[in-house]
């Protein structure tokens, strides 16, 4: 351990993405800081600019306070160094300046980059080239030998990886007392998120410095809401700039390195991971297009937390006007498993029974919000998120159109009562009655056996497990058509007011 490798020299000095979120987000943050999208274009002079900024700003408030969640007990934040600025400068030099090509290296390789680890001891009491929790978030602390080869505590790290990890917090958002870092299999998305968060952090830093504040404000939104909100912003900008919009999965890490969180505390663990699979990001990338944006924004606006009554006069001064959570955004993380409930809540406007008074879904109403029901959005959801077969989508649409025409022609207000029944037999009876009435009026059948079985049944008299989902999708098409034709406006009581339903489990 710790042997120098005098014969090894680094051939090419470039940053690269490694697949590890701490290093990759840090590398993207460095790229955004120096204005280079391509990591290969970043040289030692650029790295020096970033190192200079960190060395100057991490050791003083407000960034020093911001860093407590990422690098507690580090040389940046240690209270023992408060009156010893030379110790802080020396610490910064050791952790930030290991990237030059002529820096002495160890024979050990860095697990992040595969390069040789730096030979510098990050403090006088530590072995050469070994990093611990105060240098790399979520590592074990000094002296802990468990899970390290040969019982050698600490992690050998290259100078580039160490600089990237020091830059990492600048490319994160702080919310809920923790950092939100976003990673992806698409390096362009890593860069876009890091740039968004870096720009916001630099704005907050500038405002705090101008006002003399020793703290930077946290993001108002919850982690999941902020993640989706930022992703939509990124997708909108990429579309506006005609950039490649290759859909990619996204994984966010909501983490704290403070050591005060209990890993077994489900309410506030030190690390939470949120994942948006390819189906979801593809759906969201389409949502910001002109074809869907207006309809989506109407549903989105009705999903923000309702304001709570202020209890004290002092609350009048609080800057809490903006809701923290958007329930539509947060329920995206239950997909695609929870697709049937998502369709009912947001696309069909069926209310949710919940004990939280600020949950806007309690106030949803199919009868009162028929104008928010959109087949266009629903069809996109069916194709992208549910990956539903194209033929089945078309059959559901056609059945919805035929039933809407039947209601218009027959002026049949009673039809919806049976159609919305939770029992399959009642639902099927309502369809059969409508079919018979349509034929008696001299029309062809509304629905024939094969399409009906394809949409609603597994076999003879055996309903599909998702028959309610199919019913809801047909109803969405019907309601949209009847609303556009003005029939629902002239028959406001035609659709029964559906009561609250229990919220689906996560």
> Residue 469's pLDDT is what?
93
Peptide bond preceding 456: is omega within 30 degrees of 0, i.e. cis?
no
> Residue 504's pLDDT is what?
61
**pLDDT tens digits, 254-267:** 998 876 655 556 56
Work out the burial of residue 407: count CB atoms within 10 Å of its CB; fewer than 13 is exposed, 13-18 middle, 19 or more buried. Answer: buried
| pLDDT above 90: residue 236 | yes
> Residue 7's pLDDT is what?
47
**pLDDT tens digits, 20-57:** 999 999 999 999 999 999 999 999 999 999 999 999 99
Higher pLDDT, 102 or 472: 472
| pLDDT above 50: residue 272 | yes
| pLDDT above 70: residue 310 | no
> Residue 51's pLDDT is what?
95
Higher pLDDT, 181 or 317: 181
What mean pLDDT comes out for the span 123-143? 81
> Residue 260's pLDDT is what?
64
Q: How confident is the model at residue 14 (pLDDT cuts 50, 70, 90)?
A: confident
Neighbours of 118 (CB within 10 A): 29
Q: Between β-strands 501-502 and 352-353, what pairing exists: parallel, antiparallel or unpaired?
A: parallel
> Residue 316's pLDDT is what?
46
Distance, CA of 136 to CA of 486 (rounded, Å): 62
Asked whether 461 and 336 are in contact (CB, 8 A), the reply is no
Residue 127 neighbours by CB under 8 Å, 6+ apart = 1, 2, 121, 152, 154
Neighbours of 496 (CB within 10 A): 13
> Residue 190's pLDDT is what?
97
Q: Where do runs of H (alpha helix) occur along 216-355?
A: 223-240, 278-287, 293-301, 327-331, 339-342
> Residue 425's pLDDT is what?
87
What mean pLDDT comes out for the span 148-155? 72
Distance, CA of 484 to CA of 307 (rounded, Å): 32
| pLDDT above 60: residue 6 | no
**Looking at 30-34, 92-96, 268-272, 337-341, which range is the least confident one?**
268-272
**pLDDT tens digits, 275-308:** 999 999 999 999 999 999 999 999 999 999 998 7
Residue 504 neighbours by CB under 8 Å, 6+ apart = 334, 338, 341
Q: How confident is the model at residue 315 (pLDDT cuts 50, 70, 90)?
A: very low
Q: How confident is the model at residue 506 (pLDDT cuts 50, 70, 90)?
A: very low
* Residue at token pair 């404000």: 217
| pLDDT above 50: residue 218 | yes
**pLDDT tens digits, 189-212:** 999 999 999 999 999 999 998 988
**Looking at 146-150, 324-328, 334-338, 349-353, which range is the least confident one?**
146-150
What mean pLDDT comes out for the span 161-171? 96
Residue 120 in tokens: 């510098």
Mean pLDDT of the chain: 87
> Residue 339's pLDDT is what?
95
* Residue at token pair 């969180």: 261
Distance, CA of 497 to CA of 6 (rounded, Å): 79
What mean pLDDT comes out for the span 396-420? 88
- Spell out the domain ranges in the chain: 21-172+187-211, 375-502
> Residue 361's pLDDT is what?
94
Percent of the chain with pLDDT over 90: 51
Reference 223, options 336, 318, 330; nearest CA is 330
Q: What is the distance in angstroms between the CA of the first residue and the CA of the last residue of the chain? A: 47
């Amino acid at each position: 351990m710790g042997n120098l490798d005098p014969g090894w020299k680094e051939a090419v000095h470039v940053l690269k993405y490694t697949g590890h979120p701490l290093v990759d987000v840090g590398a993207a943050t460095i790229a955004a800081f120096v204005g280079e999208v391509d990591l290969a274009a970043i040289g030692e002079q650029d790295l020096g600019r970033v190192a200079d900024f960190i060395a100057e700003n991490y050791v003083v408030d407000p960034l020093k306070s911001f860093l407590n969640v990422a690098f507690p007990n580090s040389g940046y934040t240690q209270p023992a160094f408060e009156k010893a600025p030379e110790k802080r400068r020396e610490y910064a030099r050791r952790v930030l300046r290991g990237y030059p090509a002529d820096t002495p290296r160890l024979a050990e390789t860095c697990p992040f980059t595969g390069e040789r680890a730096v030979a510098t001891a990050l403090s006088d009491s530590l072995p050469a080239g070994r990093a611990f929790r105060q240098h790399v978030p979520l590592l074990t602390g000094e002296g802990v030998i468990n899970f390290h080869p040969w019982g050698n505590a600490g992690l050998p790290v290259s100078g580039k990886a160490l600089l990237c990890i020091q830059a990492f917090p600048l490319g994160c958002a702080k919310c809920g007392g923790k950092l939100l870092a976003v990673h992806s299999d698409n390096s362009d998305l890593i860069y876009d998120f890091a740039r968004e968060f870096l720009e916001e952090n630099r704005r907050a830093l500038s405002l705090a410095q101008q006002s003399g504040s020793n703290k930077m404000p946290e993001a108002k939104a919850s982690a999941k809401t902020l993640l989706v909100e930022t992703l939509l912003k990124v997708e909108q900008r990429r579309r506006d700039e005609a950039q490649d919009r290759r859909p990619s999965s996204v994984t966010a890490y909501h983490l704290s390195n403070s050591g005060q969180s209990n890993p077994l505390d489900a309410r506030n663990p030190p690390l939470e991971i949120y994942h948006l699979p390819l189906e979801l990001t593809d759906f969201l990338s389409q949502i910001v297009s002109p074809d869907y944006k207006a309809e989506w924004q109407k549903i989105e606006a009705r999903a923000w937390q309702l304001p709570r009554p202020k209890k004290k006069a002092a609350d009048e001064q609080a800057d809490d006007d903006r809701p923290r959570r958007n329930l539509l955004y947060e329920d995206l993380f239950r997909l695609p498993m929870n697709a049937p409930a998502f369709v009912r809540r947001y696309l069909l406007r069926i209310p949710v029974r919940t004990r939280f008074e600020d949950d806007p879904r309690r106030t949803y109403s199919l009868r009162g919000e028929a104008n928010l029901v959109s087949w266009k959005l629903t069809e996109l959801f069916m194709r992208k998120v549910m990956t539903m077969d194209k033929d089945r989508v078309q059959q559901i649409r056609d059945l919805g159109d035929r039933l809407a025409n039947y209601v218009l022609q027959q002026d049949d207000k009673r039809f919806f009562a049976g159609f919305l029944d939770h029992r399959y037999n009642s639902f099927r009876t309502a369809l059969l009655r409508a079919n018979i009435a349509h034929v008696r009026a001299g029309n062809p059948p509304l629905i024939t056996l094969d399409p009906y079985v394809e949409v609603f049944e597994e076999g003879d008299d055996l309903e599909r497990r998702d028959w309610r989902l199919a019913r809801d999708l047909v109803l969405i098409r019907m309601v949209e058509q009847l609303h556009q034709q003005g029939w629902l406006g002239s028959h406001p009581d035609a659709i029964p007011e559906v009561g609250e339903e229990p919220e689906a489990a996560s």
